[in-house]
Amino acid sequence: MKTLILAGGMGTRLSEETAVRPKPMVEVGGKPLLWHLMGLYSAQGFHEFIVALGYKGEAIKEYFLNFHALNASLTVDLATGQHRIQAAETVPWQVHLVDTGLQTQTGGRIKRLGAWLGEDDTFFLTYGDGLADVDLNALLAFHRQHGKLATVTAVRPPARFGGLALEGDTVVRFSEKPQAGEGWINGGFFVLNRRVLEYIAGDTTLWELEPLERLAAEGQLRAYRHEGFWQPMDTLREKHMLERLWESGQAPWKVAP
């Protein structure tokens, strides 16, 4: 089963990092966010990826073309120019890197990747700028059980501010970062039937608008509630938070292969 990853956006809210590379290539613990995300899927048995490229897509191509050299020790003979890769990291990934246009919207990128699905009727889809500890096999089982065209993983938004309960101008309750009180939002980590491609008009279509709205209106969209860890990386502050989690050895998304 294939996993589609949207990795073509410009990441303007993280401009400190994305001026020189696409957001999925911003590093956490010395590894691109895309590496962490693929590791999550691969550890749960899903090894084939189709990556929608756009902004600075050449950086992603270069990373995977040089994957073994970048993730291993090297011996270089400067007299001959020959080199040997020592103890290279091996991962069972098959990665298709597909140019989907610089200005193409999220829905358009998904539609362009449809030709790469082969005979598969069902596929994963996610964004290349967030991490979670989603149980992907449970998500897939949920999707197959309800039999609709689309499943979205619903998550609680990361709480950034303390909550105040007021009566007039009196604070009657203060809750520091009350995440559980927040509503549910789109966390990515979709499971989709290929028929959803029919809901996408073309390159200018935002997946999060007309297609999802229409799927919901027709009763074809179900939500898989994920109560665990979920964190996008939209700001430098969020990158530093992910870095601290990784360095602590307690990163929730880190799954043993």
pLDDT per residue as tens digits for the range 120-132: 899 999 999 999 9
Q: Measure the CA–CA gap between 150 and 214, rounded to whole angstroms.
A: 11
Residue 38 has pLDDT above 50, yes or no: yes
Q: Does residue 214 belong to any structural domain of this protein?
A: yes
- Which bin fits 52, alpha (ψ -120 to 50), beta or left (φ > 0)? beta
Q: Does residue 228 belong to any structural domain of this protein?
A: yes
pLDDT single digits (tens) 145-202: 999 999 999 998 876 655 555 566 544 455 555 555 557 899 999 999 999 999 999 9
CATH number of the domain that 216 lies in? 3.90.550.10
Closest CA to 49 of 58, 67, 59, 37: 37
Total domain count, the chain? 1
| DSSP one-letter code for 45 | T
The pTM of the full predicted model, rounded to 2 decimals, is: 0.88
Q: Does residue 82 belong to any structural domain of this protein?
A: yes
Q: Does residue 254 belong to any structural domain of this protein?
A: no
Cβ within 8 Å of residue 249, ≥6 positions away? none
Q: Does residue 172 belong to any structural domain of this protein?
A: no
Whether the Cβ atoms of residue 60 and residue 7 lie closer than 8 Å to each other: yes
Classify strands 185-186 and 163-167 as parallel, antiparallel or unpaired: unpaired
pLDDT of 256 reads 57
Domain interval for residue 203: 2-156+183-248
Q: If pLDDT is split at 50, 70 and 90, which confidence band does 14 have?
A: low
